[in-house]
A and B are shown apart, each in its own frame.
Chain A
Amino acid sequence: MLDQLFIGFATALEPNNLLFIFLGVLIGQIVGALPGLGPSAGMALLLPLTFGLEPVTAVMMLAGIMYGAQYGGTLTSVLIAVPGEASGVMTAVDGNAMARKGRAGAALSISAIGSFIAGIGSVMAVALLAPPLASFGLKFNAPEYFLLALLGILAIGSLGGSPLKSLGAALIGLMIALIGVDPLTGTPRLSFDQPTLMKGIDFIPVVIGVFGIAEVLASLERIESVQPIRTRLRDMWLTKADWMKCRFSIVRGGAIGLFVGIMPGAGASIASLLAYLTERKFSSTPEDFGKGAIDGVAAAEAANNAASHGAAIPMLSLGIPGSASTAILLAALILHGIRPGPQLMMQESVLVWGLIASMFVGNLFLLILNLPLAPVFAALLRIPYVYLAPAILGVSLVGAYAATLDITTVWMSLFFGVLGYLMIKFDVPRPPLVLALVLASLMEMSLRQALLLSFGSPMIFVERPISLILLTAVIAALLLPVFAAVRRRRDALRAGVGTGR
């Protein structure tokens, strides 16, 4: 494994790759700092720009945006109490409370250091866990792949939000993916004799529309000018007491983040919330939580960065994305002609290990960007968002066109932009749609191949041991939200009786 990692470092440290890792983390940092534009939107908008690049360089750059955004989100959370994305909510509470007490620099410092330590720890876990998981994945056949993809989609629904709406969004994604031709027989399907539809719905306009355009439309509803709290370089130093308080918070937050990140569908937001709540239990000053607890900030930031790295484990080893960002990373691999799956680690070892090594390098870049240069990035927050919004819309449409050189892609991006906006308004989660779109082909092919192997008998899903375990997990993922809803209802009724209502 060490040999492979050295080869990975040799790849990542090539001047061209170093430049694009730096560009990736820099763009990630900026995208994360812009409220309403998360890593998925940033990656979607930048995806067409990577077509001229080598696949390994493209993936390194896109991954840089993915984890760089976690660092960037801290700036807006701490300085203007507006999280760049959902995973920064806990930081917005305590980090901004610290900033209002004149400790913005300390909050930004501990966030950067916590994210760095947790990020490096998680990348080591990726290097250690991905190869054995990929070897295990080689035992998988069509039934296991179908159930694994199904589990990935259902897991998103069972964790937070409305499970029914999540499932509905995933089904919409799967149904969109049906358009084009049947992958096994080549028969035109739902294309209504239109040559454009015959090619199928491309991933890029969907993701640019649903994440990029939709986010900007939603943010245009309310244009607020918020002045960020100023911070200086000399404020960035941490005291010994800060260090002593945060060292185990970072470790705990990182471990929770990694564990949550590996689970399909959980993601950085749940990781940071879980780490924050856990830290409150461990803290010697739990009363400070919500009022500027530095250990709360450290744990939440360590967790969200660890989770974004941890999500790479199932993506690299099994070809199953655990989050919207890793779904885009997976789509980038497919668009660059690389087939994801357990064979990826063997067939494309330079790419996989190069990507893992690039995460070490990228985290180091981010530490440098976020410690001495944090005040510079903080100054960027003074640019009014109102000037950025039309620019983001214009550039995203150019990006969509550049991907296919077909004007239809621009129209599709607009359609999916409006759909994504309506999904935000009706509180329907968007990541399941994108995840399902990526997994649709794998799901359909493996389901039909499994039934072909068994001559149409569904018993193939229970006769194979791994498949049976996965099926049990699928049933659990289906029933878990039902039990949770029943329990919530029962508790609400009891509370109603208790208060005499």
Chain B
Amino acid sequence: MRLVECVPAAFMLVLACGIAIGTSGLNLWDGPTPGARFFPIILAIAATAVALALLFAQWRGFEKVELDFPTRLGAARVGATILALIALAAGIPLVGFVPMVAAFVALMLILVLRQRIAISLMATAIVAGFIHFVFVRWLSVPLPMPFGI
């Protein structure tokens, strides 16, 4: 068993510990009634049991492990997309939603996905127009505007 295969079980164990520690100030029982900590503790115990069972099953080969990791290029593309998404979310309060989405789409198409500039800009204009007409005009969603206007 490779170490990377333990990640799902380890994540569940960390989450279970977090739940147990995070609810430590709450009551398990309030008199005859199960308290606010009752269900979280049951879940934490169940998650620990399932995580340990998963580790055991993987170690003994009962559990088929099919990891499908991307190629280096694929991973770079996904990583760049995640970074662009983070930049998009961070820039929304400053630059506004529609301009940021337009910048994101253009950046993704031209720099990350290496598409032709003219077609990419056309696609960007279509997406920005769609968001403006559907969300701002039709649904009247108050999307953050450029520079907090």
Q: Which A residues are closer than 8 A to B by beta carbons?
A: 49, 51-52, 162, 164-165, 167-168, 171-172, 174-175, 178, 182, 184-185, 187, 189-190, 192, 213, 217-218, 220-223, 386-387, 389-391, 393-395, 397-398, 401-402, 405, 407, 410-411, 414, 417-418, 421-422, 424-428, 443-444, 447-448, 451-452, 455-456, 485, 489
Contact assessment for A394 and B101 in the assembled complex, using a CB-CB cutoff below 8 Å? yes
Give every chain B residue within 8 A of A443 (Cβ-Cβ). 39
Query: In this assembly, does B46 line the interface, its C-beta being within 8 Å of a C-beta of chain A?
Result: yes
State in angstroms the CA–CA spacing of A185 and B23 once bound together. Answer: 14
Contact assessment for A162 and B82 in the assembled complex, using a CB-CB cutoff below 8 Å? no
Q: Which B residues are closer than 8 A to A by beta carbons?
A: 7-9, 11-12, 15-16, 19, 22-23, 26, 29-30, 32-36, 38-40, 43-44, 46-47, 50-51, 53-54, 57, 62-71, 74-75, 77-78, 81-82, 85-86, 88-89, 92-93, 97, 101, 104-105, 108-109, 113, 115, 119, 123, 126-127, 130-131, 134-135, 139-144
User: What would be 25 A-B contacts, judged by CB atoms less than 8 Å apart?
Assistant: A164-B53, A168-B9, A168-B12, A168-B54, A172-B15, A172-B47, A175-B40, A175-B43, A178-B19, A189-B26, A189-B36, A217-B82, A220-B74, A221-B70, A390-B127, A397-B88, A401-B92, A401-B143, A410-B89, A411-B89, A422-B7, A427-B66, A427-B67, A452-B32, A485-B62
Beta-carbon nearest neighbor of B60 in chain A: A489
State in angstroms the CA–CA spacing of A51 and B135 once bound together. Answer: 11
Contact pick for B50, options A171, A185, A223, CB 8 Å: A171
- Known A-B contacts A171-B43, A185-B35, A190-B23; the reply to A386 vs B115 at CB < 8 A is yes
State in angstroms the CA–CA spacing of A220 and B67 once bound together. Answer: 17
Contact pick for B69, options A165, A185, A425, A485, CB 8 Å: A425
- Known A-B contacts A175-B15, A217-B81; the reply to A222 vs B74 at CB < 8 A is yes
Give every chain B residue within 8 A of A175 (Cβ-Cβ). 15-16, 19, 40, 43-44, 47
Give every chain A residue within 8 A of B115 (Cβ-Cβ). 386-387
Give every chain B residue within 8 A of A221 (Cβ-Cβ). 70-71, 74-75, 77-78
Q: How far is the CB of A132 from chain B (nearest CB, A)?
A: 32
Contact pick for A390, options B33, B50, B105, CB 8 Å: B105
Q: How far is the CB of A185 from chain B (nearest CB, A)?
A: 6
Give every chain B residue within 8 A of A428 (Cβ-Cβ). 8
Give every chain A residue within 8 A of B62 (Cβ-Cβ). 485, 489
Give every chain B residue within 8 A of A184 (Cβ-Cβ). 33, 36
Q: How far is the CB of B146 from chain A (nearest CB, A)?
A: 15
State in angstroms the CA–CA spacing of A185 and B34 once bound together. Answer: 10
Give every chain A residue within 8 A of B131 (Cβ-Cβ). 394-395, 398
Give every chain B residue within 8 A of A168 (Cβ-Cβ). 8-9, 12, 47, 50-51, 54
Q: How far is the CB of B56 from chain A (nearest CB, A)?
A: 10
State in angstroms the CA–CA spacing of A103 and B51 once bound together. Answer: 49
Contact assessment for B69 and A393 in the assembled complex, using a CB-CB cutoff below 8 Å? no
Contact assessment for A223 and B104 in the assembled complex, using a CB-CB cutoff below 8 Å? no
Contact assessment for B89 and A407 in the assembled complex, using a CB-CB cutoff below 8 Å? yes
Contact pick for A49, options B53, B64, B139, B143, CB 8 Å: B139
**Highest count of chain B CB atoms <10 Å: which of A411, A424, A444:** A444
Contact assessment for B101 and A397 in the assembled complex, using a CB-CB cutoff below 8 Å? yes
Give every chain A residue within 8 A of B88 (Cβ-Cβ). 394, 397
Give every chain B residue within 8 A of A398 (Cβ-Cβ). 97, 101, 131, 135, 141, 143
Going nearest first, the 8 A-B pairs with the smallest beta carbon separation are: A221-B74, A182-B36, A390-B108, A394-B101, A221-B70, A444-B39, A402-B141, A390-B105
State in angstroms the CA–CA spacing of A217 and B85 once bound together. Answer: 11
Contact assessment for A217 and B46 in the assembled complex, using a CB-CB cutoff below 8 Å? no
State in angstroms the CA–CA spacing of A213 and B65 once bound together. Answer: 24
Give every chain A residue within 8 A of B78 (Cβ-Cβ). 217-218, 220-221, 421
Give every chain A residue within 8 A of B144 (Cβ-Cβ). 407
Q: How far is the CB of A204 from chain B (nearest CB, A)?
A: 13
**Highest count of chain A CB atoms <10 Å: which of B39, B75, B104:** B39
Contact assessment for A394 and B127 in the assembled complex, using a CB-CB cutoff below 8 Å? yes
Q: How far is the CB of B93 from chain A (nearest CB, A)?
A: 6
- Known A-B contacts A386-B113, A414-B89; the reply to A189 vs B23 at CB < 8 A is yes
Contact assessment for B36 and A171 in the assembled complex, using a CB-CB cutoff below 8 Å? no
Contact assessment for B15 and A190 in the assembled complex, using a CB-CB cutoff below 8 Å? no
Beta-carbon nearest neighbor of A179 in chain B: B22
Contact assessment for B139 and A52 in the assembled complex, using a CB-CB cutoff below 8 Å? yes
Q: How far is the CB of A250 from chain B (nearest CB, A)?
A: 34
Q: How far is the CB of A419 from chain B (nearest CB, A)?
A: 9
Contact pick for B65, options A417, A427, A448, A451, CB 8 Å: A427
State in angstroms the CA–CA spacing of A182 and B39 once bound together. Answer: 10
Contact assessment for B8 and A178 in the assembled complex, using a CB-CB cutoff below 8 Å? no
Contact assessment for A456 and B32 in the assembled complex, using a CB-CB cutoff below 8 Å? yes
Beyond A391-B127, A402-B141, A452-B33, 5 additional pairs, beta carbon < 8 A:
A221-B75, A386-B115, A393-B81, A401-B143, A427-B65
Contact pick for B92, options A393, A410, A418, CB 8 Å: A410
State in angstroms the CA–CA spacing of A281 and B119 once bound together. Answer: 51
Give every chain B residue within 8 A of A407 (Cβ-Cβ). 89, 92-93, 144
